Amino acid sequence: MKEVTYLEAIKEAMDEEMSRDPSVFVLGEDVGVYGGAFRATEGFYEKYGEWRVLDTPLSESGFTGAAIGAALVGMRPIVEMQFADFISCAFDQLVNVAAKNHYRWGAATPIVVRAPYGGNIHGGAYHSQCIEGFFFNVPGLKIVAPSTAYDAKGLLKAAIRDNDPVIYCEHKYLYRRIKDSIPEEDYIVPIGKARIALEGKDISIITYGAMVHTALEAAQALNEYGVSCEIVDLRTILPLDKKSIFTTVKKTNKVLVLHEQTKTGGVGAEVSALISEYCFDHLDGPIIRVAAPDTPVPYSAQMEEAFIPQPKNVISAVEKLMRY
């Protein structure tokens, strides 16, 4: 076992897959000589050369389309968006081409789009958005959002080996703030499988990404008051692991859904609807969502703190739910 940061885990996953499979290559803005906006590909250009680490023009639609074309002839491209916010420029390529190839003529489109997302970095409205909701209702896409370094590596390796297009949401706030001990040997984290981040019996908190750590901090405080929280880390947002969601609901009978994405039309709305549809008889109270308000991400540090769900918001919501 060795200890790595979340960002180092991402870098290791790409490096190992590029060494293992010559069809894997990286493309994006500044991924080559500069080593990527966050240094995730630092050293790759020297190690793998200009044909497997491609610097591209500032054209997310163009290089995503090129990656889709390469995938259709047997390559496995990894596309890096400098910031997830810019993925909107590639929306047509992802939604109308990559996601539909399988349904149109059975073609595999094995591309991974790395999307550095999320706030708490004082990046403002154009560098801090959570973009998973933009693609959440698009059949043909998969979306993953790791919360730990272990999962960051295992899910990225699984995404690279997958034959479907995968949007890999990597939270910028976690890059250098969390570490994990991960195995030296090869491993993957299967797409579509949630995990229990904390066992509990009184209430379920269903979440993903950086909010897993917010939930854990809140759970620690709540435990001192005798409230036992079970935290479900979804890990994969599309497709959702419905079995794990329903199992925790039937265990605790109280549910809070937590995410950093804005509230309306977010992942939490779908999770809540599924629980209401399939587990209504097991609920002892309303399903509560804790999410960002429906505004762009503020630039001011104070306003951003108010925008992003904090442990105190989770604690307050849990206390309300525990009164039922």
Can you read off the two tokens belonging to residue 241?
A: 């692991």
Amino acid at 287: I
Residue 279 exposure: Cα atoms within 13 Å on the Cβ side: 25
Q: How far apart are CA 187 and CA 190, in angstroms?
A: 10
Q: What is the DSSP string of 185-249?
A: S-----TT--EEEE--SSEEEEE-TTHHHHHHHHHHHHHTTT--EEEEE-SEEES--HHHHHHHH
Q: How far apart are CA 271 and CA 291, in angstroms?
A: 13
Q: Cα-flanking dihedrals φ and ψ of residue 237, to 5°? A: -95, -35
Sign of CA dihedral 101, 144, 207, 251: positive
- The residues annotated with a catalytic role in the active site are 127
CB 37 within 8 A of CB 30: yes
Cα of 153 vs its chain's centroid, Å? 12
Q: What is the DSSP string of 125-179?
A: TTSS---HHHHTT-TT-EEE---SHHHHHHHHHHHHH-SS-EEEEEEGGGTTT-E
Q: Cα-flanking dihedrals φ and ψ of residue 165, to 5°? A: -65, 130
Say if residue 57 is preceded by a cis peptide, omega within 30 of 0: no
CB 210 within 8 A of CB 120: yes
